[in-house]
Amino acid sequence: MAGSVIRFEAQTVIRRPASEVFERLADLPGYRQWMHRDGVFGGTELTSALPVRAGTTYVDRTRMGRFVGEVTEHVPSTRLAFSETFSIFGHSLTQARPRYLLEVDGDSTVVHHTAEAELYGVARAFKPVAARIVTRERSHTLASLKRSLEGSPDID
């Protein structure tokens, strides 16, 4: 149902090579080192063996609960995508699909970030609140990524 999907799109330019940006994004256990601490994110734990690649599974701990995830696309220095499901008592409430496309721009990287969150069941009633959370968290993630790689607090 199209009415239950939240979509986020943004981009930023990071003054680092695409390979470094990709490595930072693909290092799921390392997220605690650079991810902002003022949102819902609590940490990422791999549930499959290294190296991180398409098919790698993980759990994101958040203030809302645990998102069970999988890397769905892993193309070094170019594309990285995930699918994460939040469930309560065995019932899926949300499926999130964050994605990063990296574009080389001289010595910099343009990070195109999209994320979709599909809400199920009773979660649909909270779509306006969920949309604000998605926008805040995804924006903070981009700002944290940029800051961690180049020391800049702002996103473009």
Q: What is the pLDDT of residues 91-144, one digit of tens each?
A: 899 999 999 999 999 999 999 999 999 999 999 999 999 999 999 999 999 999
Q: How confident is the model at residue 155 (pLDDT cuts 50, 70, 90)?
A: very low
Give this prediction's pTM: 0.90
- How far is Cα 45 from Cα 153, in angstroms, rounded to an integer? 26
Cis, peptide link before residue 153, omega less than 30° from 0: no
* Whole-number percent of the chain with pLDDT over 90: 79
* pLDDT of amino acid 151: 81
Which domains does the chain possess? Answer: 2-150 (3.30.530.20)
Q: What confidence category does residue 56 fall into, taking pLDDT thresholds of 50, 70 and 90? A: very high
In the chain, the percentage of residues whose pLDDT exceeds 70 is 92
Q: Are the beta carbons of 52 and 70 closer than 8 angstroms? A: no
| Residue with tokens 């090579």, as numbered in its chain | 17
